[in-house]
Structure 1
Amino acid sequence: MTTDTQHKDPVHKTVTVTVDGELVAGVPRRTTPNEILRLAGIDPATHYLVRINGRHQEPFNGEGDKEIAVHERETFVSVSTGPTQTS
């Protein structure tokens, strides 16, 4: 006999990723860049997400509601879309 825990749907599994150097737990394996930002406490109205893989960067500017696959311990950074401040 098998139990539900042996046949969990991998689509509904959550992972932990890093956003701006901070761990963000509970991220669904299939989600959107905007949802990752929200889970990290960042406003997607003023930021977009960039996936970092070694030297490769995958920006999601203008694609915040596009569904993406997310893997355990992936690294992301947020980029502000607002004006840059000068001193």
Structure 2
Amino acid sequence: MTTADIQQEKPGGKTVTVMVDGEPVEVPKRTTPNAVLALAGIDAGTHYLVRITGRHQHSFADRGQEEINVHEQETFVSVSTGPTPTA
């Protein structure tokens, strides 16, 4: 999914800036976790999104197509679903 595809999903929709892995990303206010990952340049096929609220974490694992509302300056992290390398 490209940035243009995502922007076309919600034409005229309001956008907000959220933080994904410490980087600012502009996303539609109503979007999906997979769209947030794509706009951040992260492969939704190998990652899922987690919303960080204070000390709480809300995982969107296996729910990447679920519609969510995001808010200005909300914080997210991506989590890889691949194997963890060992040293």
Report the TM-score, using the length of structure 1 for normalisation: 0.85
Aligned runs of 1:65-80 on 2, under 5 Å?
65-80=65-80
Please state whether the residue corresponding to 2:35 is helix, strand or coil. helix
Please state whether the residue corresponding to 1:12 is helix, strand or coil. coil
The letter of the residue matching 1:37 is L
User: Considering only aligned residues, what root-mean-square deviation do their CA atoms show, in Å?
Assistant: 1.0
Q: What is the aligned partner in structure 2 of residue 22 from structure 1?
A: 23
Cα distance between partner residues in 2 of 1:86 and 1:55: 28
Structure 2, unmatched stretches of 5+, are: 1-11
Please state whether the residue corresponding to 2:37 is helix, strand or coil. helix
Cα distance between partner residues in 2 of 1:57 and 1:15: 20
Work out which of the two has the higher radius of gyration on C-alpha atoms and give 1 or 2. Answer: 1
2:44 is the counterpart of 1:39: no
CA displacement at 1:46 relative to structure 2? 0.2
The count of residues paired between Structure 1 and Structure 2 equals 76
User: Identity rate of aligned residues, in percent?
Assistant: 70
Structure 1, unmatched stretches of 5+, are: 1-10
Cα distance between partner residues in 2 of 1:29 and 1:69: 6
Runs ≥4 residues deviating over 4 A: none
Q: What is the aligned partner in structure 2 of residue 81 from structure 1?
A: 81
CA displacement at 1:33 relative to structure 2? 0.1
Cα distance between partner residues in 1 of 2:85 and 2:68: 32
The letter of the residue matching 2:56 is H
CA displacement at 1:12 relative to structure 2? 1.2
